[in-house]
Amino acid sequence: MGKTLFRSAVAAIGLFGLTMSAGHAADDVSIRLNWYMVGFHAPIYLGKERGYFSDEGITLTINEGRGSGVAAQVVGAKDDTFGLCDAGTLILSAVKGIPVKTIMSPMNISPFGVISRADANIRSAKDLEGKTLAVTAGDSLTQLFPAVIKANGLNKDLIKTIFVDPAGKVVMVLEKKADALLGSADAQFFQLEEKGVKASALNFADVGVNTVGITVIAHEDTIKEKPDMVRRFIKAMRKSYEAGVKDPDAAIAAAVRAKPDVNAAALKGQLAVDLGLIHSPASKGKGIGYAAAEDWQHTLDLMKEYRELKTDRLATSFYTNEFLPK
């Protein structure tokens, strides 16, 4: 081979290599959490640390959130690629025209419930009669509470409610101005315990009123235009949560390394609760992230009846299982 031809061949190989590298460049992806770091987020940090996302050709940025509604908005605006959002908020957002959809359901049992002082002795729905609850007007918990009353045949006139702002609910219980509050088993429960008050939780799901919990959402355009990237991301997410189930301590350690100022003990307690919410009876045995039709239909039915949702859309239009690993 002549020198000129050899140099041309080398140049061509180099150009081909550059083209291949560009073609296989990692996808820059961001996920907006549904809140500040809590236990349920820890497996995502573990997956990032262990390289599960980079193994799938994804460079992941994790952004803390300020609520599911905000997560739906930023994903709908394409400011973040993915988001964590509770199913109820996802449905409301989609019906209002925000083009988002659930692509994975890693929490199929809602953590919503009645969080009380242990000495209030609220062990069953019937125990709510004669008690005082701190609630926030208009929030999803307060809107769903009538479903708890109906499902358990309670006398609503025997349950007193005090309306306060979200932060005030914990204060009311701490000061014994209320026996309990409507909150989350992985949030206010631990806020009470951190203040030295032994707490108890009565989950809505345990008294007949379950809604799908935290889901992973994406923009409709992302689903349509980048299905391979979505599939690789979901594969890494499932692997991350499987690792979190197997080794919760490792997940907490990864989260603390990412944000050293968090309360590790609180995160560990939250994660312990959340891992028990991954599978509903309908999704059990289907793998982490599977969305069960029965759960979504029940969620939609509850929202229509108690959250003034008006839509003709089918429950199946709000989620998909197509990107889950086979």
User: What pLDDT was estimated at residue 25?
Assistant: 83
State how many domains the chain has: 2
HEC secondary structure over 276-313? CCCCCCCCCCCCCECCCHHHHHHHHHHHHHHCCCCCCC
The mean pLDDT value for 94-119 works out to 97
- What the block records as the tokens of 184 is 């989350």
Residues 222, 287, single domain; the answer is: yes
246 backbone dihedrals φ, ψ, rounded to 5°: -70, -40
Residues 165, 203, single domain; the answer is: yes
Residues 176, 99, single domain; the answer is: no
The mean pLDDT value for 239-244 works out to 98
Other Cβ atoms closer than 10 A to 326:
3
CA distances from 321 to 43, 217, 317 (A): 20, 12, 11
Fill in the DSSP letter of residue 269: H
Could you tell me what percent of the chain has a pLDDT over 90?
Answer: 88
**CA 241/CA 271 separation, integer angstroms:** 11
Residues 116, 103, single domain; the answer is: no
Residues 271, 180, single domain; the answer is: no
User: Tens digit of pLDDT for each residue in 153-167?
Assistant: 999 999 999 999 988
Residue 91, classed as helix, strand or coil, is helix
In a domain, 326, yes or no: no
CB of 10 closer than 8 Å to CB of 214: no
Of 188, 207, 226, the residue at which a domain comes to its end is: 207
Residues 197, 271, single domain; the answer is: no
In a domain, 290, yes or no: yes
The mean pLDDT value for 183-193 works out to 93
The mean pLDDT value for 96-123 works out to 97
Q: Is the pLDDT at 7 greater than 50, yes or no?
A: no
In a domain, 286, yes or no: yes
Q: Is the pLDDT at 78 greater than 90, yes or no?
A: yes
Fill in the DSSP letter of residue 179: S
Name the pairing type of β-strands 132-135 and 160-163: parallel
User: What pLDDT was estimated at residue 18?
Assistant: 41
In a domain, 234, yes or no: yes
Non-local CB neighbours of 62 within 8 Å, separated by 6+ positions? 30, 31, 33, 41, 44, 45, 48, 258
Residues 219, 196, single domain; the answer is: no
**CA 220/CA 292 separation, integer angstroms:** 20
Residue 180, classed as helix, strand or coil, is strand
181 or 12, which is more confident: 181
Residues 229, 99, single domain; the answer is: yes
User: What pLDDT was estimated at residue 43?
Assistant: 98
Residues 271, 301, single domain; the answer is: yes
**CA 156/CA 154 separation, integer angstroms:** 6
User: What pLDDT was estimated at residue 326?
Assistant: 84
In a domain, 166, yes or no: yes
Residues 24, 138, single domain; the answer is: no
User: What pLDDT was estimated at residue 24?
Assistant: 59
Could you tell me what percent of the chain has a pLDDT over 70?
Answer: 93
* Boundaries of domain holding 66: 10-109+212-318
In a domain, 16, yes or no: yes
Residues 299, 226, single domain; the answer is: yes
User: Tens digit of pLDDT for each residue in 292-320?
Assistant: 999 999 999 999 999 889 999 999 999 99
- What the block records as the tokens of 50 is 């262990």
User: What pLDDT was estimated at residue 22?
Assistant: 42
User: What pLDDT was estimated at residue 11?
Assistant: 44
Mean per-residue pLDDT of the chain = 92
Nearest to 292, CA basis, from 209, 203, 215: 215
CATH number at residue 128: 3.40.190.10
In a domain, 242, yes or no: yes
**CA 202/CA 133 separation, integer angstroms:** 13
**CA 80/CA 97 separation, integer angstroms:** 18
Q: Is the pLDDT at 117 greater than 50, yes or no?
A: yes
Residues 165, 193, single domain; the answer is: yes
The mean pLDDT value for 262-280 works out to 96
